[in-house]
Structure 1
Amino acid sequence: MPSSAGPSIDTITEGGRVTQVGEGQEADESAPPVMTFGAPTAGEILAERYELVEHINNDSAGRLVWRGVDVVLRRPVAVVLRYPGGDSATEMLQAAVAASRVIHPNLVGVYDAIDEADRAYVVREWVDGRSLRELVAEGSLDPARATSIGNAVASALAAVHATDMVHGNVHPGTVMISDDGRVVLADARTDGADSQESDIRAVGGILYFALTGHWPHTEVPLRGATAGHGRAAIPDAVRDAGGAIAAPRQVRAGVPAYLDDLTMDLLDIEIAPPTSDVLAAELARLDVPADEQYLDSSGPLRFTADTDDEPSPLAAAGGRKVAIGIAGLLAVALVGLLIGISALGGDDEGPQTNPVAAPSSNAHGGDATQAAATVGPIKISRAQIIDPEGDRTEVKNADKVFDGNEDEGWETQTYRRSPNFGNLKEGMGVWIDLGGEHTVKSVQVLLSAQGASAQLFAGIAEHPSSAAGDSQLVADYRKTPVGRAFEEHDGTTMTFDGFNADRKYRYLLFWITQLPSSDGGYKLGVQEIKVQGS
């Protein structure tokens, strides 16, 4: 199912059992149990749909957290109940409703929010895994993994901020790492003091914590998990005699200078932070697999763009010591110059006051700094409706999915018998051609209604617009899925961002497998497809 920001699901492993608590933290051991009249019991079904299976815990706000099952869709859910409902539950319910409108793979999904006067409850995605706080308790993370987690959090915030909302509760307890490696952000709980800037600075706190095991409380206040809160307490950052926090490289060895600088810049209130989408793009660029961390053997490199060079996304946003070294280094690798990397290494023992990058050429003869291209819209060259099992009556108007008009798009016909295209065919899709190979960051698909199921695939070849050609295209493209599939998702926007940063893409297939109800049957319109990348 799609994910969106919502009340926190934080996991705690006890005796081999994975449990989840709300607000990204475990209730204080000294807190008395919450006794409520008419408290729920195992087996009770709420709203004729959500069966309560097991009382997991009480969060620090006194809310009851249950593991449950959606008996309609047969999927596990987390149910957070508050007593009483009514006015006292308004903030919780409003936050849940707002969060449910943002669909993103790195956000915990919110499925329902119900007020029954004597109690209110929020139903959300159940995540098997653990929080970043628990993960780091076993030891600080390597730079590559810390960068990957920071990238996921920044991407989630970019989706939230794109709707003019604020998350307001980013800290190690609300960053979840599922058992399958998915990183999700949970528990959006904004108030008047929160801002998009504070969200972005909190990403610096996440990077700092992942690298050092300490949280910079002063620079980024930690809501709901401050020092002294039972087992939820997180160690404060290491500080000098003047109270200034130590840089990650001063706390532990092996932190690259570019990541050290980026983290400290995000925490420095005197430096204007970039927007969340620009930060996500920069972290995606730096998110290189551990086995490709060429800097490890030669020491960290720090680069600044020359005045005539194209800056990295963060440099354009006003960052102080923005690293564009990795992109340049990978370009050098393309022409076999890794042998000379050690000659470019900086001093591991201290910051470089005047770092300079020697110019180098990439595989296309251009300046290496051009590898750090700014992420922006990619124009779709053409589109085609893919209908391998249909009568070809629905393959018209494909150009409407990229004409810039969200009020008019391509749509299926109305199917009467079932949401699975009347049981007449396996699915339909929209194939798009980007006109050339690109580094793709994300694809956003705007739909006419909620409740559709779909997936995104990538391919390397075109096929004729015919039943046979469409069948071959679907068979070929299904070998390369992009991101997670959406199943009966509760929004009208699907965002796919599981693209390989080291691969170029030209052909993509948005494949629909289930239609939402409409006009007395089942029907779906694709209003617009938007591609971001470089």
Structure 2
Amino acid sequence: MSTSAVEPGTRLAERFRLEDRVSESDGATLWKAIDEILARPVAVHTFGPDFPRVHEVVTAARAASRLTDPRLTQVFDAAEDDDHSYVVSEWVTGESLTDLLSGGPLEPDRAAGLVAEAAEALAHAHEAKLYHLCLRPAHLVWTTGNTVKVLGLAVDAALSGLTTDQPALDDAEGLGRLLYAGLTGHWPGDEEEGGLPAAPMIDGHFCSPRQVTAGVPNYLDTVTVRACLPESRKGQGALASPSEVAEALADVARPMPIAISYPSTPAVASASHTEGLDIAHRQQRTLPPQPIMPRRPPNQGGGNVLNRVLMTLVVLLVIAAVGVGAWTIGRSLGGPATPEASSTPTTGKSSASASAQAVKPAKAKGFDPLGDDGDEKSDIAGLAIDGKPSTAWTTSSYGNAELGNLKKGVGLLLDMGKSMQISDVVATLAKAEGSSVDLKVGDSPDLDSLKTVATQKAASGKTTLTPEEPASGRYVLIWFTRVPADAGQFRGTIYEVVVHSPGSA
């Protein structure tokens, strides 16, 4: 179909109505369109008569349509003939990596989490012999539905005529560049990309992320170097495929999804947020029942009698409540000694709770005394006490919920700086159920010296661990004895920990 013949309002396949021309390049035009049957926005590529790769693009789109990973753009339709060649795919709304970087580099864990999701999605695509080959910041999107989406799999390479003899390595390098961009706000290429400045160089080589941005964890620096900076590897093996990148990032915390309640007619609401809200308001206005009085005989008074009876009952209940309240107040004023004596334990406990203050730990450590080296990802332990609920410390991944039957427990050890009484500890865990955690407190960081003061089974989300009896110590240990499922494996996650204390012991 000639681009000159395609204008806003054109309908393809008697279903897809073109609305806005988004971009045009080398004879291929991207449109925002409406699927009139399902009343939802879609993306449509059309092609001019001189576009040379229609067959390759349509073939790639048809192959991509068979993939089911929700992190990859879904293809709905693709057709090829002399007059009507087009590709219809999912219309994705959200913020691209370019948008996310407009305010500077991302938090390291967030950048790693986004790229880890993309790496897993591309690993699935590679299993089906489908490749991306042109990963750029605009291709990685955090959607309005709080999910990761990789745009343009197979199709964008066909549009550009890109081919390669080493697709796995090319996509691994592309993922490494995305991680580099997320960690530094720079693009490791010879030119700017999507508004990102080119990465700085030393002696003709790109600087590593840690050389560009302070605070990048060493392991993320290493993953990035192994994926896309061959000059800086210093003997380290390259990450040569998306699956290897995904494996290297398997332990990073993933972006937390936010629960969204969809309107009852999501297809219409997806076309316009305003329409969706209007629909919700109209539905609320229809909830009150319609008056039914006209259906009653005009001389029937049963309803009035019932109303009078109900009103009488309400008045009697109010009088009774007032009387009980007055009696309670009078009793309190007349005999203060008796209530004070009878409620001494409760008053003391509530008073201690009321005066408890949040105390920031001096430092945190991943604690694995039963493992080989005693450490459990201490390099990211500080993320659990940084005051940011979007960051997290995680355990290593295990083969089952019982820590792969390798050990009895693993945890996060907090050094409070000095001995103090512990009122409670509030830990925000992963939403997935299945965590079993103990709270241990003591004055020595040795496992045998830490006393278990609280236990919570089947824990998830915000979990409060309150000692069953007064507990004091310098060290606070959140000890996982069971971890929940996470992305096909099992690991514990702590997004944030808050320790409350009524004062120093």
Report the TM-score, using the length of structure 2 for normalisation.
Answer: 0.50
Max Rg structure: 2
Larger relative contact order, structure 1 or 2 (CA cutoff 8 Å, min sep 6): 1
TM-score by length of 1: 0.47
